[in-house]
Amino acid sequence: MTISYGDFEKVDIRIGRIISVEDFKEARKPAYKLHIDFGKEIGIKQSSAQITALYTKEQLINRLVLAVVNFAPKRIADFESEVLTLGVDDNEMRVVLIAPDKDVEPGAKLY
């Protein structure tokens, strides 16, 4: 399926810094509850992420990630995931997070 550049512009992808991580025991698949700081304009949002296979909670603190910030919130068990943290499959059904290769301010927009 082909989309237009205008369609892509509707997706708001921002850099966030993970500030806290909790086990998400109620999720059907192993996951963490992430609290991510997207800077002054967007603030702190929460996300459910199935990234337990490759990342410990300690490895995630202060890590920069990319996330879609303008999806409607999604309820997962008793948790409301407000943003979609982005990652790719490593061909072994594990999620590898997408992140910038330089330090940038939380809230920076992907263009």
How would residue 46 be classed by pLDDT, with cut points 50, 70 and 90?
Answer: very high
- Which residue spans within the chain are E strands per DSSP? 13-23, 32-37, 44-49, 64-68, 74-76, 79-81, 84-85, 87-89, 95-97
Q: Is residue 25 classed exposed, middle or buried when 0-12, 13-18 and 19+ CB atoms within 10 A define those classes?
A: exposed
DSSP 59: H
Domain coordinates in residue numbering, the chain: 12-97
Residues 77 and 8: their CA atoms lie apart, in Å, by 30
Mean pLDDT of 14-41: 97
Q: Which residues contact 2 (CB under 8 A, 6 or more apart)?
A: none
pLDDT digits (tens, 9 = 90+) for 56-111: 999 999 999 999 999 999 999 999 999 999 999 999 999 999 999 999 999 999 98
Q: Which CATH class is domain 12-97?
A: mainly beta
Residue 53: the pLDDT is 97
Residue 89 pLDDT:
95
